[in-house]
Structure 1
Amino acid sequence: MSVVSPESVGLSSSRLQHLDRHLRQRYLDTGRLPGALALVARRGEIAHFSVQGHMDVERARPLQQDTIFRIYSMTKPVTSVAMMMLVEEGLIALDDPVHRYIPQWRNLGVYEAGVAGAFRTRPVTAPMRIVDLMRHTSGLTYGLQQRTNVDAAYRKFGWGDPNGSGTLEEMIEGLAKLPLEASPGEVWTYSVSTDVLGYLVGKVSGVPFDEFVRQRISAPLGMVDTDFHVPAAKASRFAACYLATPEGGMKLQDDPQASPFLRAPTFVSGGAGLVSTAADYLRFCRMLLNGGELEGTRLLSRKTVELMTTNHLAGGKDLTDVCVGLFSEVAFSGVGFGLGFAVTTSPARCLLPGSAGDYSWGGMASTYFWIDPREQLIVIFMTQLIPSTLYNVRRELRTLVYSAFADPPSFAA
C-alpha cells in the first residue's frame, strides 16, 4: 500500500518514528510482544505503516504487512454493521423485543442465587431489545467474567468461544435455560450479545451469518483476507498467537500450523470469530469514517453511522457508571458505548489526548483500532498476545500518535 509523507497530512515523521522506537524498546526487545504492526492514516492517506518483530517467533518468521491476525472482538463492529444494514432495510428494528425472533427467550429471568440446574430468579423489569444486544446491556454475560455462577455456566458450555465445538443454534437454545445477570437496560456487561446478533442476522436475512458477512461486507469492501477461517492457500501468512507468562515473557498459545482457525468453524462467532489483515481492516474503518461508503460501495447511510457512534448508555453515562463486569477491551473513564463501539465522551476524564466522539474497540489478542472523525484519523494496531489488558500499549499508542500532530487546529472541524 502507498504511504505518503506524514507532513503532507499534518503529522511529524520524527514523532511517528518515536512510536516505533517505543514499541521496539518496551515490548519487542523485552520479549513482551512477538511483533507489532502500527498503521496511521489521516485525511484519506496512509502516513505511517510499520512492522517490527515476528509473526512466528519459534520459526523466526518476521512480521509482514500482509500478515493475517486473529482479530477476535474486532469482529464485533463488523457484526454490528451487518445488523444495522438489516435495520436500514426495515427487516428488524432496534426497539424490537428479542423474543420476537427467539421465542424461547420470552420468559428469561434474572439471577438471584443458586447454581446451574437450580437457579433462583426474579422477573425482568423490561424485555431485552435488539438495542440491548448492540450496546451490551442485554443482561447476558461471558464466561471469562468469572463473577457469578451464571458466568460459570457459560464457561462449562464454552459459549462465546470462536473455537468451540457447538453451533450458534445450540448456544441460543442453551441460553434459554439460563438466567440473565441483570434486567435488560440496567447495566453494561461485556457479553455474548454480539454472537446473538450474528445469529439474528442469519435468521432475519435468510442467509447464513458467515455468508452474509462475505457477500454483503467483505467482498463489496474488497476485504480479501477477512473470513472466519484461514484457507490453506493463505496459511503461510497466518501469525502465531502467544500467551503472556507470569515472568513477563510469553509462550505459544496457538500454533499457526495447527490452529483451529485453519478450518471452517462450527460455531460462527459474530463476537470474536474473524481473522483479518491491517489492510483489510483499514478498508472497513475507511467505510465508517466516510459515513458508510467506500469507493462507490455504500453499506450504511451517514446518519446510521452517526447513530452507531453516539453514546447510547442511559443518561449519557460512562462505562464506569454502569459496568458490572470484570473485563472489557477499553479503559472506562471518559468512555461510553454506542452500537458496537466504545465512544469517547471526555478526553479529560480519559486522561488521554483524543476527541470527544472518537470510537474504538480491540481484540483478545491485543489488536486495537480507533477512528477520530474530527481529525480524519484511523489507527490500527496488530499483534498477537493474550490477554489484551496486561500492558498499557493501547493508551500509549493514543498518546504517541496524537503527540505526532504537527498542524494547526482546524476551526472548521
Structure 2
Amino acid sequence: MGFSKLDAYLRRAVEEGWLPGALALVAREGEVAFLEVYGHLDPEKGLPMREDALFRLYSMTKPWVSALALTFVEEGALSLQDPLEKYLPAFSRLQVGREVGEEVVREPLRRPVLVYDLLRHTAGFTYGVFFPSPLKRLYLEAGVDRYDLDREAFLERLSGLPLRFGPGEAFEYGLSTDVLGHLLEALTGKSLAALLEERVFGPLGMRDSGFVAKDPARLAQAFPKDPETGRSLRLLPVEEEPPRYAGGMGGVGTAGDYLRFLEALRTGRGLLSPALSRLMTEDHLGLLALEGMRRGPEYTPGPGYGFGLGVAVRLSGMGLSPGNPGEWNWAGFGGTYFFVDPRLGLTAIFLSQAPNLLSVLEPERALHSRYGSRLWLAFRTLVYQGLG
C-alpha cells in the first residue's frame, strides 16, 4: 500500500489555501496503515496540526446517537416501531406541510412518526438550511436549526412545525437525530451526554469524545473567512456545556476515538452485536432511494447510495468515486468525513475544520465549488488508489 498521491493532494490543498489544516487516517482490519497531519491546528495562531487534535464533528455525531439508540433496541427497552409521541407527547400534534406554490398547506398525518423513521431520516423533519423551499423557510423563521436553543424551546418549536413529507414517504435529511437524542433522554431520565458516556464512549475508551472539548488547546480551528465566499466563519462553541445536547450536530472528538467507534461497528464487537451492527449499516430505504435519485441531490445521500440507520450505504458499484456495495459513510458540515468498506476491512477518516458555505448559502453554485463534496470524493478515490 502506498498513499503518496493522497498525501500530495492534501499537502497541495493546504499550500494553496483551501484547507487550514487536516488529518487523514486509513486503517486495514483495525491496524493503522496511514496517518498524517497537515497545516495548522489554529491558522491565526500558527499552531501546527497534531494527531490528537479535537474536531467539531457536526453531523458525524449522528452515527453516535443512532448506535446509542440501537443499544436500547438490543436490550428490548426500545422498539423501532415505537411512536415518537409515546416518549415526547408534544409531537402528537404533528402535521405534514404540502408546498403549493409559495404556500404551505397543512394536512393530517396518515400515521405517526416511528423510532425507525428517526433513524433512517424518513420522519419528515427537515433543516431550514440546505436548498430553499417555502416549508424550509418556516424552519428558518422558527430558528430550530440554531444551536443556542435549550431543549424545551427546541422541542416546543419543532413540534409545532409541519413535516416536509409524511412519515415513511421519503428520505428527508434533517433534525431527526436531534429528536432521537431527546427521545432517549425521555426514555431514561438521563442526559444524552451521560448516555453516550455510559454506553458508547466509556466502553470503547473514547476519552476525548463528547459535547465539550476536553482540552480546548487541542481544538482545531477554521480560517476566519471561507476561502470561496469570503464570508466569516463561526463554528459551534464547544468550549462550554451547550444549551441542549444536539444529537445531530453537537459532538467533538479525535480521529483515534472515532476510529474506535467505527471499528466497533465494523466488527460487531464492543458496542452492538454483529447482527445489530449489520442492521445499522445495511440499506433501509429500498425503493425510496431510487425515488430520491429521480428527484435530485436534495433527496438522496448521493448517486448509488441508500441509507441505513444513521449512515449512508452503497447499493452498487455506481457512484462518483470507487467503492464496493455495502460500504457505509457519513460526513460533517465542519469538514469531517469517514467511510468503511467491510469487504476490504477498510476504515478511513478525514478531519478538518473548513466548512464550504456555498453548499448552504448559495446551493446553486455548489456544483461549481473547488471544495465541498469534491474533497470527500477525492479522499475516497485516493484512499482506494493507495491500496494498490
Q: Normalising by structure 1, what TM-score?
A: 0.85
**Shift, 1:243, TM fit:** 6.6
The correspondence for 2:212, drawn from 197, 208, 229, is 229
Cα distance in 1 for residues equivalent to 2:344 and 2:330: 18
Partner of 1:383: 352
1:67 aligned partner, one-letter code: A
Task: Write the letter of the residue equivalent to 2:345.
Answer: Q
> What is the identity, as a one-letter code, of the residue corresponding to 2:11?
R
Q: Deviations over 1:339-382 (max 9, x none)?
A: 000000112x2042211001000000120001111100100000
Q: Does 1:321 align with 2:293?
A: yes
Structure 2 distance, partners of 1:185, 1:45, is 39
Q: Are the equivalent residues in 2 in contact too, given 1:54–1:63 (CA < 8 A)?
A: yes
What is the deviation of 1:250?
Answer: 6.3
Q: Tell me the distance in 2 between the aligned counterparts of 1:323 and 1:176.
A: 27
Per-residue deviation, 1:143:
1.2
1:6 alignment counterpart = none
Structure-2 residue corresponding to 1:153: 138
CA contact (8 A) 1:318 1:345 kept: no
Cα gap change, 1:140 to 1:324, in 2 (>3 Å): farther
Tell me whether 1:277 sits opposite 2:254 in the alignment.
Answer: yes
Q: Please, which of 329, 333, 337 is the counterpart of residue 303 of structure 2? A: 333
Is the contact made by 1:243 and 1:385 (CA closer than 8 Å) also made in structure 2? Answer: no
CA distances 1:129-181 after superposition (whole Å, capped 9, x unpaired)? 111110111111101135333322322333243xx222223222222211111
Partner of 2:41: 55
In structure 2, the residue matched to 1:136 is 121
Q: 1:252 to 1:178 in 2, by over 3 A?
A: closer
Contact kept in structure 1, 2:193 and 2:245, CA below 8 Å: yes
Deviation at 1:209, TM superposition (A): 1.0
SS in 2 for 1:112: strand
- Equivalent residues of 1:341, 1:360 under 8 A apart: yes
Residue type of the alignment partner of 2:114: R
Secondary structure at the aligned position of 2:36 is classed as strand
TM-score between the two structures when normalised by the length of structure 2? 0.90
Q: Which residue of 1 aligns with 2:32?
A: 46
Structure 1 residues 287 and 399 mapped into 2: Cα distance closer, same or farther (>3 Å)? same
Partner in structure 2 of residue 410 of structure 1: none
Secondary structure of the equivalent of 1:36?
strand
**CA gap 1:92/1:175 in 2 versus in 1, 3 angstroms:** same
Task: Say whether 1:83 aligns with 2:55.
Answer: no
Query: C-alpha displacement at 1:55, in angstroms?
Result: 1.2
Closer, same or farther in 2 for the Cα pair 1:78/1:313, shift >3 Å?
same
C-alpha distance in structure 1 between counterparts of 2:109 and 2:294, whole Å: 17
Quote the offset at 1:318 in angstroms. Answer: 4.2
The structural deviation recorded for 1:315 is 2.9
Aligned counterparts of 1:289 and 1:197: Cα–Cα separation in 2: 23
Q: Distance in 1 between matches of 2:210 and 2:271?
A: 18
SS of match in other structure, 2:242: coil
Unaligned residue ranges in structure 1 (runs of 5+): 1-11, 407-413
SS at match of 1:134: helix
Secondary structure in 2 matching 1:385: coil
- CA–CA separation in structure 1 for the residues paired with 2:98 and 2:263: 45
Supply the AA of the counterpart residue of 2:32. I
Cα 1:85/1:208, change in 2 over 3 Å: same
The corresponding residue for 1:357 is: 326
1:324-346 Cα offsets, whole Å, 9 max, x none, are 77487x5x110000000000011
Alignment partner for residue 8 of structure 2, among 14, 21, 34? 21
Q: Tell me the equivalent position of 2:336.
A: 367
CA 324–211 in structure 1, closer or farther in 2 if over 3 Å, else same? farther
Pairs aligned (count): 375
Residue-by-residue CA offset, 1:262-304 (whole Å, 9 max, x unaligned): 110012110010010101101111111111x2xxxx3211101
Q: Secondary structure at the match of 2:284?
A: coil
Q: Give 1:181-330 correspondences, 5 Å limit.
A: 181-231=164-214, 234-242=215-223, 245=226, 248=228, 253-254=233-234, 260-291=237-268, 293=269, 298-315=270-287, 317-318=289-290, 320-321=292-293, 326=298, 330=301
SS at match of 2:213: coil
Classify 1:250/1:57 alpha carbon distance in 2 versus 1 (closer, same or farther; 3 Å).
farther
1:54-112 per-residue CA deviation (whole Å, 9 max, x = no partner) reads 11111111100011000110000000011101111111111122122222222321113
- What is the distance in 1 between the residues matched to 2:314 and 2:44? 39
- 1:223-274, Cα deviation, whole Å (9 max, x unpaired): 111110114xx111111123764x638676248xxx7211100121100100
For the Cα contact (< 8 Å) 1:243–1:387, is it kept in 2? no
Structure 1 contact 98–129 (Cα < 8 Å) conserved:
yes
Residues 356, 114 of structure 1: alpha-carbon distance in 2 compared, 3 angstrom cutoff? closer
Amino acid at match of 2:204: L
Change (3 A) 1:251 1:107: closer
1:401 aligns with 2:388: no
Amino acid in the other structure paired with 1:312: H
Report the counterpart of residue 362 of structure 2 in structure 1: none
Q: Is contact 1:134–1:339 with CA below 8 Å preserved after alignment?
A: yes
Check conservation: 2:339, 2:349, Cα contact below 8 A: yes
Q: Partner amino acid for 2:228?
A: G
